[in-house]
Amino acid sequence: MTIIERRRFLLTATALAASSAFSGFALAQTQPAAPKIKIDDKSVLIVVDVQNCFLPGGSLAVGKGEEVIPIINRLAKSFVNVVMTQDWHTPGHVSFASSHAGKKPFEMIKLPYGDQVLWPDHCVQGTDGALIHKDINIPHAQLVIRKGFRKTVDSYSAFREADRKTVTGLSAYLKSRGLTRVFVTGLATDFCVAWTAMDARREAFEVSVIEDACRGIDTQGSLAKAWDAMKKAGVKRIQSGDLAV
């Protein structure tokens, strides 16, 4: 190949590559955006445990947990149906590290119902730490589910306690009202949010977790494990921007 021929070849190849790149860019620009998820009368927003203990200054503060509050408030305006939850523990609750001599927060122990993470004392009944944060502004919420109020059983899920036998009544409540689509927000992604979402799937609800309206604790890889478990359970992972609000 002569020098002239080589130059012609390179110019042609460059032109073809540029044309291909432009075509791909143009195609991407003309692809329609995914349709927004519509919220209907069969949809319910569940706001999990946005309580003082889980926010800055609390005994079990979730990193950047305060960031979910404005997102949840904005979303809630588009939902006719809203349920909130509260951790509501007794003093000396079995899930507290302080209830077990020589144990520290985040250690694991065996209880009759299975493995239990030990936590700092938090959300004790009647204390300021157990209150839903004052900046949560959802006056039209119809129900608050209090969970974990039995001293010998923890409860992450809004539907079923950690013994996996004791129900809260939320499933029957939602079904009696004809609600079939559950959208979960709140704290913490890898524990109470995840357990709530997966139990909702077990109860045959269509379930989405709104990722940017949640924050996780992420102890020992718990956040990645929770998302994997939710995916396997059929829980959808979405963003607040995916909703038609």
Domain spans in the chain, listed from the N-terminal domain onward = 1-31, 43-242
Scanning the structure block, which residue is given the tokens 């390179």?
Answer: 10
| Arch. (CATH architecture) of 43-242 | 3-Layer(aba) Sandwich (3.40)
162: which 2 tokens? 């950690």
Check 87, 123, 147, 214 and give the catalytic one.
147
For residue 98, CA distances in Å to 31, 70, 101 come to 56, 34, 7
Q: What is the pLDDT of residues 38-71, one digit of tens each?
A: 999 999 999 999 999 999 999 999 999 999 999 9
pLDDT at 245: 85
Average pLDDT per 10 consecutive residues for the chain, totaling 245 residues: 50 47 48 87 98 97 97 98 98 97 96 95 98 98 97 97 96 98 98 98 98 95 97 98 94
Has 147 been annotated as catalytic?
Answer: yes
Has 49 been annotated as catalytic?
Answer: yes
pLDDT at 32: 73
113: which 2 tokens? 């119902």
Q: Whole-prediction pTM value?
A: 0.86
Has 192 been annotated as catalytic?
Answer: yes
Amino acid at 240: S
CA distance 119 to 116: 9
pLDDT at 110: 96
pLDDT at 31: 67
